[in-house]
Amino acid sequence: MTLQIYNSLSRAKETFVPLHPGRVTMYVCGPTVYDDAHLGHGKTYVNFDIVVRYLRYLGYDVLYVQNITDVGHLLDSGQDRMLKGAQREHVHPMQLAEEYTYRYFRDMDRLNVGRPSISPRASGHIPEMIAWVQQLLASGHAYEVNGSVYFDVRSFEGYGKLSGRRTDEAMSGTRVQVLDEKRDAADFALWKRADPEHIMRWPSPWGEGFPGWHIECTVMATKYLGQPFDIHGGGLDNKFPHHECEIAQAEAATGHPFARYWLHNGMLMISGEEMHKSAGNFVTLAQALDEWEPLVIRTFILQGHYRNPLDLTHEALLAAQKGWGRLMDVVRLVRHRLPTAPAGDVSSDLAARLEEARRAFEASMDDDLNSAGALAAMFDLTRDVNTLLNASAPLSQTDLQAIDALYGRLLGDVLGIMPATLEVEAHVGLSDGLIRLLVDTRSSLRQARQWAAADAIRDGLQALGVQLKDGPDGTTWTVQ
Ligand SMILES: [Zn+2]
């Protein structure tokens, strides 16, 4: 099977075929660095990290661009988020941008989100944005009013093709003064005149001002990836107006299509509610990462489909912790057994089982990057591997190496939920050895027909979560 992805633009699953064989160009809207990243950012960037990792697993050379917004992203009140943050902390906006860019990457590193190939900053691309706005003015797709430049939505027929919308209902809250300047309520700012107190300002052909938010993504995506490029990703909340505006600016100016596949990820909910500072359920990513093992949070995110909303509850995180622990335990046990395992080839049964797991994993990932299905395939495999590890016939070194390699590739490289170094703690080997000792003791007791003592061992182990199973080849066990 080949990779199928849901394209928001066509509203259908499509076979993914990159523009250039073997290469994928991908852009994802990055953070506005005026405050700490929250759990919702964690979901978004883990979701797109999986896209990149899986494409690389499939052998593609992926050029991944994710911008840093450090100017022009306004609040509904019309205030620039960067200036709001700078006032809050009494620092220069660029100092604020530096601090929160650092914190963003620190948090993403902890979540094992790979760094983008290029992280361009909006404030470093003002001349390119001005040139793009000039091109839109020259081609009749924009107009200037009092030092601000607006995109003329009616001049571009394709406006609305991504979202099916043309106007923003939330615009009723927009400042009247701005509405007065626009020819149509749906028109949006490409360049804004700076009021005297506005700190972030650059000279332009229209006087001192600053760029609108949407133009930065169009300009930086096409600068580094060309036009068209393969994949544009972002949160569902950015589909309209942000992504619609990106398309309009790009395609109106050049006449070429912008992005070929649009991917949107669903939002994170907290116990069934949207996360808002005002709702009192706002959790920064750093707080969550201090409270929980980061790779458990990552596993929790991957247990949902990226396009769906994900509801975070304490119980769901506990379940993810248990599942993640089970996966890591089997890898630890395999690595613990490796040095003392007998030599030998991979058994054909094991090779077939590993191949089946790999196929099931890939089939899920090929189906619109269904990480939940991929994880389920690994849980299935883990159950069988545990049975094999606890069977009386020991696995050979080659067997164990084959298991370890598959886990490393799928859980490590693709899903990113395996730590770079997984310490084989002494207690893993100890508990494994103790269970084996008790199982052997029980077998001796049974041979001596001391049923009560043998059953006491079985029941005692069961109370500790160790389930024994007697079979023709001896006793095996599973650990809950
Ligand atoms: Zn964007």
In the chain, where the domains are located: 4-265, 425-480
Task: Strand 209-211: give its sheet, edge to edge.
Answer: 142-145, 148-151, 188-193, 209-211
The position carrying tokens 């066509």 is 10
Å from CA of 462 to ligand 1 middle: 54
156 vs 159: CA distance, rounded Å: 6
Contact predicate 5/368, CB 8 Å: yes
Written as one string, the DSSP assignment of 376-409 is HHHHHHHHHHHHHHTSSSPPPHHHHHHHHHHHII
Contact predicate 39/273, CB 8 Å: no
Which residues, listed in sequence order, are joined to residue 295 by a DSSP beta bridge? none
Å from CA of 217 to ligand 1 middle: 5
Tell me the H-state helices in 67-212: 81-89, 93-110, 126-138, 176-181
Å from CA of 30 to ligand 1 middle: 7
Å from CA of 150 to ligand 1 middle: 18
Å from CA of 411 to ligand 1 middle: 30
| Amino acid (one-letter) located at 150 | Y
What per-residue confidence (pLDDT) applies to 326?
95
Per the structure block, which two tokens stand in for 242?
């942000």
Contact predicate 444/457, CB 8 Å: no
365 vs 372: CA distance, rounded Å: 9
CA separation, residue 233 to residues 65, 223, 365, 366 (Å): 10, 17, 17, 17
Angle between helices 294-302 and 39-57 (to 10 degrees): 70
Q: What are phi and psi of 258, to 5 degrees?
A: -95, -85
143 vs 152: CA distance, rounded Å: 7
Å from CA of 328 to ligand 1 middle: 37
Å from CA of 29 to ligand 1 middle: 4
Sorted by sequence, the CB contacts under 8 Å of residue 333 that are 6+ apart come out as 389, 428, 432
Q: Superfamily for 4-265?
A: HUPs (3.40.50.620)
241 vs 214: CA distance, rounded Å: 9
pLDDT tens track, the chain, 480 positions: 699 999 999 999 999 999 999 999 999 999 999 999 999 999 999 999 999 999 999 999 999 999 999 998 888 777 889 999 999 999 999 999 999 999 999 999 999 999 999 999 999 999 999 999 999 999 999 999 999 999 999 999 999 999 998 876 555 455 555 667 999 989 999 999 999 988 999 999 999 999 999 999 999 999 999 999 999 999 999 999 999 999 999 999 999 999 999 999 999 999 888 887 777 788 899 999 999 999 999 999 999 999 999 999 999 999 999 999 999 999 999 999 999 999 998 888 999 999 999 999 999 999 999 999 999 999 999 999 999 998 888 899 999 999 999 999 999 999 999 998 887 665 566 677 788 889 889 989 998 999 999 999 999 998 888 888 888 777 888 776
The position carrying tokens 């089939």 is 363
302 vs 418: CA distance, rounded Å: 13
3-state secondary structure 337-377: HHHHCCCCCCCHHHHHHHHHHHHHHHHHHHECCCHHHHHHH
- For residue 241, give the DSSP letter: I
144 vs 206: CA distance, rounded Å: 8
What per-residue confidence (pLDDT) applies to 275?
83
Å from CA of 284 to ligand 1 middle: 22
Which helix or strand (DSSP H or E) is residue 250 part of? Answer: helix 244-254
Predicted TM-score (pTM) of the model is 0.88
Contact predicate 215/29, CB 8 Å: no
Å from CA of 198 to ligand 1 middle: 23
Å from CA of 242 to ligand 1 middle: 6
